[in-house]
Amino acid sequence: MSTGASSGVEYEKLPPEFFTEPNPNRHADNAALRSKCPVHQVNHPVGAEAYVVMDYETVSKMFSDPRLSKSVSKAPAWWQDLLKDSSPILIKNMLTADAPEHTRLRKLVAQAFTPRKMRELRPKIQQTCDELIDAFGEGGADLFTEFALLLPLKVICEFLGVPFEDRDKLHEWGLYLSGAPYHTDEENAKLKWASDSMEQYLSDLLARRRAEGLGEDLVSVLIRAADEDGRFTNDELVSTLVLLINAGHKTTANLICNGMEALFAHPDQLELLRSDPELAPNAIEEFLRYESPVYRGTLRVAAEDMELHGVPIGKESFVHLMISSANRDPEVFEDPDRLDIRRSNIRHFSFGHGAHFCPGSPLSRLEGEIAFNTLLRRLPDIALGVPHEEVAWLYDNSVGRGVTSLPVTFTTKLPA
């Protein structure tokens, strides 16, 4: 049970379904839990000691608290064994490391998302947006499968120098890898297949790029960085590429569809953004706060016994930083359940915080800006094609939150 520090009242441990089942009242439930106590015990991973942290202030501190580790080596032995058996390549990048190892691995990707690179990618992103809209059928489309998912996939393939024809394989493997590890042997067998397949694919890609000569794509940039520095192994290169591919498409797809769904639910904000495209960068920050593409932080483990808000947390316990709850904390955001694309000082946690802040955030923001403005400009009467309550949201074993489908209708498609 979780214990509230101020009242001494004990609360029931949250079930695994707290993470893995759709809940239309998720934000209201988060608010109720947060008001009782910012820290609650949860049965996720199933059978493990684990806790959720719900409020902005504590989440902010915990992002940088040295008592919480990102290293798999600090997790329970059974968890380490499960990951090593099912997907060893996943645990060799910066996402599962503490400093100084994290600092070393982060250098591998630091040069990939420079302002110059973003400027170079802007025309390609615009071209891709227009091509995808051109391909929409008469009067309607599924914005998730026909646009939001394909845009970042095409961009990341272009960025990496990976054939877009391989997108279906990359997407399928990425879906399994983003939820690692799973609860059942069957699920972990699929994870092992996806992990081995993606590792082989990327190892072959690295070998081919080395043999054919390096270019200006991201794979070549990473190879040069590894060769010049001499401190990165081939496994670390592959693991970093896995991270970039997985983080580079599903979260951006969620940003686009979560944001569009929010606009459909708030017609005044939709018209405001349509009438003033310059608001797009700020609107994206509000979309990220209002319905974050990543609703909780990635792996964090207590490296020592600790206590938060009167709740004892034992060494090797999992600690889940609830980004979606912190992003709607009324102690920080006025009227947090209101979508306001003119909101100022939007200090959300959707790209993390501190040393582990997402290095790919400039690309995601750029894709979002171009996507929203292009959709609203070229489809001036775009509307949600189903009632809001029928929009299907996905909850799975991963940290992401987004729709599985977003049908839209339109009567006018303007030229690019």
pLDDT at position 397 is: 67
Model confidence pLDDT, tens digit, residues 208-242: 999 999 988 888 988 988 887 677 888 999 999 98
Rounded CA-CA distance 364/246 in Å is 13
Under 8 Å between Cβ of 290 and 327 = yes
Rounded CA-CA distance 152/34 in Å is 34
From residue 67, alpha-carbon distances to 37, 57, 91, 289 in Å are: 20, 16, 20, 26
Determine the angle formed by the axes of helices 218-229 and 234-265, rounding to 10 degrees: 140
pLDDT at position 396 is: 63
Question: Torsions phi, psi of 404, nearest 5?
Answer: -100, -15
Residue 227: is it exposed, middle or buried by C-beta count within 10 angstroms (0-12/13-18/19+)? exposed
Task: Collect the ranges in the chain with pLDDT lower than 50.
Answer: 1-9
Which residue bears the tokens 């995808």? 132
pLDDT at position 395 is: 66
The pTM of this model reads 0.93
From residue 339, alpha-carbon distances to 233, 252, 259, 289, 343 in Å are: 45, 19, 10, 9, 8
Coil, helix or strand for 312? strand
Structure tokens at 114: 């420079």
Q: Is the peptide bond before 100 cis (omega within 30 degrees of 0)?
A: yes
- The DSSP secondary structure of 59-112, one letter per residue, reads HHHHTT-TTEE--GGGS-HHHHHHHHHH-GGGGSSGGG--TTHHHHHHHHHHGG
Residue 236: is it exposed, middle or buried by C-beta count within 10 angstroms (0-12/13-18/19+)? buried
pLDDT at position 11 is: 63
The alpha-carbon radius of gyration of the chain (Å, integer) is 21
In the DSSP assignment, the letter for residue 213 is -
Under 8 Å between Cβ of 416 and 130 = yes
Residue 310: is it exposed, middle or buried by C-beta count within 10 angstroms (0-12/13-18/19+)? middle
Dmax of the chain from CA atoms?
Answer: 66
Rounded CA-CA distance 14/24 in Å is 17
Strand partners, 321: 53
